[in-house]
A = this chain, B = another copy of it.
Amino acid sequence: DQAETKGGLKITSDDGNFSSQLGGRIHFDTYLFDPDIEDPVSTTEIRRARLAVSGQLWKWEYKLDRDFASSGTGGMRDVYIATKVLGGKLTIGNFKPYRSMEEMTSSNEITMMERSFTSAGGIYADRQRQQGIGWHTFWDCYTLGVAGYNLRDPGGPRNEGLGASSRFTWAPLNDSLSTVHLGISGSHDNANRDSDPLVADVTYAGRRGPDQLIALTPGDRSFFVEDFDNDDFFFGDQGGSVNTVGLELAGTHGPLYAQAEYVYGDFEGDYFLSEIAFEDFFGAPPSFECDPDFGCYIGGQDVRTWYVMGSWVITGEHKPYDSKKGVFRSVKPRSGWGAWELTARYQTIENKDIDDLEASNVTLGVNFYFNPRVRFMLNVVLGDDDFTGDETDQLAFRAQASW
């Protein structure tokens, strides 16, 4: 059989029935904070240290990807088996539900060090990978993915929560010079029995910086304190649902690239918190009048988040478009001297139903590609939390290899 390496291990059988490969990635980060009201600890961190084994077993394929930078069973990433069904790929196991262009982009290929608020780093907080069944296909300039899943990742509690998502993309223009990408996705997550709460939550000043809770739909676990005499009560309906719809617009022209997403989320709610509990959760006193006896009422919450991001590859390379997945990939340097890319992003997320509950940031960055598999990233994150008034900033550096 045939052995091959591009930095990993790969063997393919001569009859084409089998293959197996071992890949991985190391992302090593340094975070330095310029504190404001919040004062996070600067540190280094192994952001990702993953080994992924994938292969082919006749008409089936498998993937088992483990991140050693996460503890316990929660360190499992893609763990699934898949096969071709109706011209698409049917996936069974643990994988990312199809939603948000930024979420669909590999962490090896994202433009900034952390994904935007339209991902599991914001409006889909803690719901990056879920366990279930998915189907994904592409044709011409279109891609379509649909998924149904249990509302858990391998590190979360067993529960009866259910969700569904779908994403459709169209690239009306896609040639060697220019690409235009349009996309739409939607999801419904229902926190049934024993589900964790569904939240929108952002670390607006970069990884390991302060976080701001934007919206919360109660899950269905022992979470509520139903005693009004308690200063810290939390009372109301359990097990709500969250519906989201997202729009994508992106494109490249030569060395220029721009990408924008808008996601609207409807977080169900019908609960009361004491003012103390409110401040515990949201980090600041309520911006609205609370009832002295029954506390602060939170009903349905409209969440809106959007970002616009762009880059210019100084060394002239063009960011390729992956028309099978409907996402952009990283630059591949043309010369032995590597490629330089300047990057910028503005993003914001707000809860329209609670005054001032909004966080945003500006990120400016430089990416240097030594070669197609080794990248250094520098990001300056200017954080802004309107609810607490905090404006902590971060300087972040990443050394990255993938194989």
A residues apposed to B, CB below 8 Å? 1-13, 18-22, 24, 26, 28, 30, 41-46, 49, 51, 53, 55-60, 62, 64, 66, 68-73, 75-76, 79-81, 83, 92-94, 131-132, 149-150, 152, 154, 158-160, 193-194, 208, 370-371, 373-374, 399-401, 403
Contact = CB atoms under 8 A, between A and B. Distances in A.
7 contacts: A5-B18, A9-B21, A51-B64, A51-B66, A68-B79, A81-B374, A92-B399
- Copy tally for this chain in the complex stands at 3
Contacts of A68: 64, 66, 73, 75-76, 79
Contact of A7 (B10, B56, B73): B56
Given A1-B4, A8-B20, A20-B5, A399 B28 contact: no
A195 to B, nearest CB: 10
Contact of A22 (B7, B9, B62, B373): B9
B5 A373 contact: no
Given A20-B403, A81-B399, A371-B60, A154 B46 contact: yes
A58 B371 contact: yes
Contacts of A60: 370-371, 373-374, 401
A285 B42 CA distance: 38
B194 A28 contact: no
Contacts of A30: 150
